[in-house]
Amino acid sequence: MFSVVALVLFSVLVGAVVGQRWEAGQERSRQAAEASLFLAVAGLDSVTGSDGRVTIEGSIAVTNGSPMPVEVTGADKAADVMVRGQQRIAPAATGWFPVSATVTCVDGATAMPVPVGLSVATADGARRTVTLELQLNGSRWYEFVVQGCAPRWSVRQATALG
C-alpha cells in the first residue's frame, strides 16, 4: 500500500516538473518570436529641398523593447525613408541607423508620422518586415521640414487667397 502511494506521489511530482518545464519552454518560444521596436529621430547631417519635397540625410534610433535580441536591417524596397545598415540590438538597447528621408510638402506634413519599413529577425530565426511610424513633430528634423516646405505652403496660401 505504501509503495502504491509513493508511486502516485512520485508520478504527480514528475508530472508537475514536466509541465513546468513545458510551460517555461513555451514562454521562451513566445519571447524568441517577439519583436517590439520603438523609433525616434537621432541625428541630422544635411537637408535639401526642391519640387515640393524636403530630403534629410540623418539617423534614427531604434530601441528594442523585446525580451530577446533582434537583428534589424533596412527594408529592401524604395521608400520615403531609406534605412541603411544592419545591427543586432540587445533587449532594452538602442541601435543607430543612417537614413535618407524624403518628406512631401503637403498640408499637415509635419504633423503626420512618416512610415519606416524595417526587416526584423527575431531570436527564433523568423524574419518579418515591419512598418513603424517616425514622429517628426518635436524632433530635430521638424524645423527643417517646416523651413523647407514654407515657400511651397506660402504659394499655396497666396493662390487660395487670390
Please report, for the chain, the start and end positions of each structural domain, with discontinuous segments joined by +. 34-152
Residue 24 has pLDDT above 60, yes or no: no
Residue 143 has pLDDT above 80, yes or no: yes
Determine the 3-state secondary structure of 74 from DSSP: strand
pLDDT at 35: 82
Q: What is the C-alpha to C-alpha distance for residues 62 and 132, in angstroms, rounded to an integer?
A: 10
pLDDT tens-digit series, residues 67-110: 999 999 987 777 889 999 999 999 999 999 999 999 998 887 77
pLDDT tens-digit series, residues 40-72: 999 999 999 888 899 999 999 999 999 999 999
pLDDT at 161: 38
pLDDT at 30: 52
pLDDT at 21: 66
pLDDT at 157: 45
Closest residue by Cα to residue 113 from 136, 145, 79, 146: 136
pLDDT, the chain, mean: 82
34 contacts 68 by C-beta, under 8 angstroms = yes
- Average the pLDDT over 17-21 and give the result: 64
Question: How many C-beta neighbours within 10 Å does residue 37 have?
Answer: 18
Q: Which fold has domain 34-152?
A: Immunoglobulin-like (2.60.40)
pLDDT at 135: 93
